[in-house]
Structure 1
Amino acid sequence: MAKTNADGSKSLGRGDLLAIAIGNVIGGGVMTMTGLAIGITGRSIVLSYIICAVMVTIVALPQFFLSGTIRMNGGFYTQAAMFGGKWFAGLYSVVFVSYFFGATMYSASFADYVLSAFPEINGKLVAFAILTIFVVLNLCGIQVAAKVQYALVIILVIALLVFTGFGIVHLEPGYFDENQFFTSGFTGVMSAAALLSMATSGATFIINMSREAKNPKKDIPFCIVVGTVIVTLLYIGVGVVAAGVFPVEHVAGQNLSKVAREILPTPLYIFFIVGGAMVALVTSLNANLGWLQAPIAQAAEDGWWPKIFAKRNDKFGTPHYIILTIYVLCSVIILSGMNVGDIANIGNTLANCVQVILCLAIITMPKKIPEIWKRSQFHINDKLYTFLCVMGAIVSAAFVYYECLEIHMNYVIGILVYLAVACIYPMIRQKFHKVEIEVSYEEA
């Protein structure tokens, strides 16, 4: 487990990072988006998961090589600043903030599962309460949050294996009925894969915890690969069961509680709802709140945001103003009553826009740090590295396209306005405030 440091730096070991990666991934995909994806493509969701995993791996490969070369104290923001330049860093600092939609989605989805068992409860209050609990946990320091994550992920994996094991024997006799597959054609398969991309790609976000990692150049690439493989296998099993116990039209757009109630004995059903569904969502919420901090803090250090956001608590080493600001933003969305599907789609689309930006930025890595790159344990041919970055950008752009097909036009317009503001903001900020990009990476 992690060794506690007063400032929270260099304290997370490989086990901590792997738990954070797996916990971050499992939640949005299996618990929130599986039913939505089934509604789009039916039992072809298994193919969508496989396609998604392949595409997400393509997007993650440049991050794999980069994270094995340097420690990035500002995570993804460091990448944008190092390889994209000053304006690009400012743009990224604005777009990155949109990841708070993830924390909102996990909180709202948690409330949905509580409501499935206790329909008389106020869903907004439940979402607000669980968000509050994990905000307080993260205010207490990254080590505390990591220890909680470690224990919760063990429970989570067991719960998903129980769901899959019991569900396989309850599959419909006509599981392979052609009318249950490709319900929206190939476009539906790809749209479902795009919807699931945020869930499957979550392992790469531990790059944003490089500052806290003991040995990031070895542990982060390992956790990206192993975490993605473990989660994809779990997803495929759960996807088969979720789409196969009932006819597709009975589970389309719903969470997993209906299927779980059908296949599991009451004690195991309760365990799945609590230890599987609810724990999956809170581990994702916990991880999301954790990795949001460092990039925003580094952007504040450089001057893109008020310096107060870079201030860390003397006792816990946490950027408490950032955490509290995220808390307020999430609370506003929760109280607005926006449904989980819209939150997921908007957050997903913005997240993949971010990945397009990053993949294009880090193409310059071999030229910006040539000697460090040559010494990297994962050094490859520069042309191959460039090809992987371009492919990552293309795949991310494809995700954006297919996601926009599922979003109401008003939300698409809102996303475009947000991106336009992100493009203009760096020029305005530099005109009225001093912005200096600090070195926020280390070879060691």
Structure 2
Amino acid sequence: MSKHSSPSTRRRRDPRRKTMHQITAENDSVTLKRSLTATQLLLMGVGTTVGAGVYVMTGTAAAEYAGPAVLLAFLIAAAACLFTAFCYGELASTFPVSGSSYSYAYISMGERAAWHVSWLMLLEYGISCTAVAAGLSGYMNSLLGIFNIHLPVWLTQTSLQPVPGSEGTALTAGFRLDLIGFISVLLVTALLARGVEESARFNSLVVALKIGVLFLFLIIGVSYITPANWHPFIPPAQEHFHFGVAGIFRAASIIFFAYGGFEAVSTASSEARNPTRDIPIGIIGSLLICTLIYVAVAAVLLGIVPYTKLNVADPLAVATEAMGKPWLALLVNGGATIGLSSVLLGLMYGQSRILLTTGRDGLIPSVFSKIHKRYRTPAHGTFIMGAIIALMTATLPIDIISDLVSLGTALAFAMVCFTVIWQRNYAADTRRPFSVPLGGIRIRGFWIGVTPVLGIIFCLIMILPLIFNMIHALLGGNPVPVILLVTYFLIGALTYRFYGYHNSRMANPSASTES
């Protein structure tokens, strides 16, 4: 056959690419409860996104890399996410099925690509959960400190800890664990296994609480701003991406993962009442709302406290202490602790639904796709996932995992953007209730969309500083980030090669899935 075969001819060659009819039928066969409204989806997106970025990573990104220009870093990261959010909106309205980008890739590029996307998303969600639980632990310890309750140091730190002043190139190991982070993951796991409707109600209450606390911080904090703290807006550049223009992009790559929560909305298609309309609203709307909140809070925070003093796990607590308002400190610490639990809930929800879908397809053991008869949730897989995340939270420090999750997020987002281009060329006649803006161009008949290309470019911009930082750590004597990353991808490749490929429902069409 000619190497210039038509797209439709090439598309038929892959026996392990699902049709829309197949994936819709499979989606309808799983008895998840359709109860989520557009408002609940929007709140899920906001609840999952407003968390570690504003409560935890703002301080580190400003103190170490960008200074007050972290505001620009938030906008750069938001731009990368916005282009991806438009792509998610088109795919979610076109394919209103569970599994998010995993399912989109299965339809577009086939099983192998879908597996790699799901493996990236599991990295993104799993390590995001660990980072958020670490932030929750930091604020909870601050809250306990207000009441003069202090846990032993070995119950507040992870087993691995970076050596101060080593810039992450040296680690120490010891008999210690993050107890609060560990317990918080287990509690959220139990709530999630209980039911999505109960989880959504809890999330709505928590989102209202934490947004209210943040607005209170903004209203009161404005009068405590010292404009001199914003100068120099872009501190003079130093080596290794510290400050200057390069530091802004490095900071953007750090806080990039904090925006990833909006993606969890796309995993809820099987439980949304009107997924074709409501999923795009939830995805794009939550991202825009969260960007405004992030920038506003960061501006006030950096106006109250010099950026050099914010390299802590609880920067908002430092700001309320500087304002001399103990009652506000109590509210902020309490709001952050409870608010981060909603982020944890949304992230674990998204991960559990990806595991549900891949388990249903036979690529991982069917225990992850087994639906509890009473709760109508994948409770068994949720508990397994929760136990793994709890152990990661107790042992891995946020300094290591933040880069890994940003890398996983950027790669997964880039695949989503590419999927839109692929779908437009190989399934041009598919009905699309929502389409990405800005149009596209055709090169030799091949459609290339402006929005997905910009999304891919921005994701690559997020990735480059992360790769550089890992290489720098490796050369400095800390191979842990590289080892974790390589080991993770190796396990993923071997899992598909020796398990998923042979047990896939596409290889065994008569195989049944437990439900």
Alignment of 1:22-41 (within 5 A): 22-39=46-63, 40-41=65-66
Report the aligned-residue RMSD.
Answer: 2.3
Name the aligned partner's letter for residue 87 of structure 1: R
Residues 300-339 of structure 1, C-alpha deviations (whole Å, 9 max, x = no match): 1111001121101001111112211211211221232x22
Alignment of 1:157-306 (within 5 A): 157-178=211-232, 181=235, 184-255=243-314, 256-263=316-323, 265-275=325-335, 277-306=336-365
Deviant stretches of 4+, over 6 Å: none
How many residues are treated as equivalent by the alignment?
Answer: 430
Bigger CA radius of gyration = 2
Evaluate the alpha carbon distance shift between residue 44 and residue 179 of structure 1 in structure 2; reply closer, same or farther with a 3 A threshold.
closer
Residues 210-262 of structure 1, C-alpha deviations (whole Å, 9 max, x = no match): 11111111111112222111111111111012222122211234422111222
Deviation at 1:7, TM superposition (A): 4.2
Are positions 1:378 and 2:448 aligned together?
no
Alignment of 1:87-102 (within 5 A): 87-98=112-123, 99-102=125-128
Deviation at 1:154, TM superposition (A): 0.7
Structure 2: gaps (5+ residues): 1-29, 157-177, 238-242, 442-446, 510-515
What is the rounded CA distance, in whole Å, between the counterparts of 1:269 and 1:431 in structure 2?
53
- 2:418 aligned to 345, 356, 360, which one? 360
Residue 341 (structure 1) aligns with? 399
Residue 489 (structure 2) aligns with? 419
What is the rounded CA distance, in whole Å, between the counterparts of 1:385 and 1:149 in structure 2?
38
What is the rounded CA distance, in whole Å, between the counterparts of 1:225 and 1:96 in structure 2?
19
Are positions 1:65 and 2:122 aligned together?
no
What is the rounded CA distance, in whole Å, between the counterparts of 2:459 and 2:118 in structure 1?
19
Contact kept, 8 Å, 2:261 with 2:346, in 1: the verdict is: no
Q: Which moved more, 1:260-269 or 1:233-242?
A: 260-269
Residues 358-401 of structure 1, C-alpha deviations (whole Å, 9 max, x = no match): 3223422124443333x534377564763322322222122121
Residues 14-50 of structure 1, C-alpha deviations (whole Å, 9 max, x = no match): 1110111000001121012111111211111111112
Q: Secondary structure at the match of 1:156?
A: helix
- 1:398 aligned to 461, 467, 470, which one? 461
Are positions 1:53 and 2:116 aligned together?
no
What is the rounded CA distance, in whole Å, between the counterparts of 1:231 and 1:343 in structure 2?
22
Length-normalised TM-score, structure 2: 0.78
Contact kept, 8 Å, 2:132 with 2:340, in 1: the verdict is: yes
Q: Secondary structure at the match of 2:94?
A: coil
Deviation at 1:129, TM superposition (A): 1.6
Name the aligned partner's letter for residue 166 of structure 1: I
Q: Secondary structure at the match of 1:74?
A: coil
What is the rounded CA distance, in whole Å, between the counterparts of 1:103 and 1:254 in structure 2?
15
Are positions 1:322 and 2:381 aligned together?
yes
Contact kept, 8 Å, 1:135 with 1:324, in 2: the verdict is: yes
Structure 1: gaps (5+ residues): 1-5, 439-444
Contact kept, 8 Å, 1:11 with 1:212, in 2: the verdict is: yes
What is the rounded CA distance, in whole Å, between the counterparts of 2:332 and 2:302 in structure 1?
17
What is the rounded CA distance, in whole Å, between the counterparts of 1:263 and 1:237 in structure 2?
17
Contact kept, 8 Å, 1:404 with 1:412, in 2: the verdict is: no
- 1:125 aligned to 152, 175, 179, which one? 179
- 2:130 aligned to 94, 104, 113, which one? 104
What is the rounded CA distance, in whole Å, between the counterparts of 1:219 and 1:400 in structure 2?
31
Evaluate the alpha carbon distance shift between residue 379 and residue 128 of structure 1 in structure 2; reply closer, same or farther with a 3 A threshold.
closer
Q: Identity of aligned pairs, percent?
A: 20
What is the rounded CA distance, in whole Å, between the counterparts of 1:364 and 1:306 in structure 2?
30
Contact kept, 8 Å, 1:352 with 1:400, in 2: the verdict is: yes
What is the rounded CA distance, in whole Å, between the counterparts of 1:261 and 1:431 in structure 2?
56
What is the rounded CA distance, in whole Å, between the counterparts of 1:150 and 1:352 in structure 2?
28
Contact kept, 8 Å, 1:71 with 1:211, in 2: the verdict is: yes
What is the rounded CA distance, in whole Å, between the counterparts of 2:324 and 2:79 in structure 1?
31
Deviation at 1:111, TM superposition (A): 0.8
Choose between structure 1 and 2: higher helix proportion. 1
Contact kept, 8 Å, 2:139 with 2:313, in 1: the verdict is: no
Q: Secondary structure at the match of 2:200?
A: helix
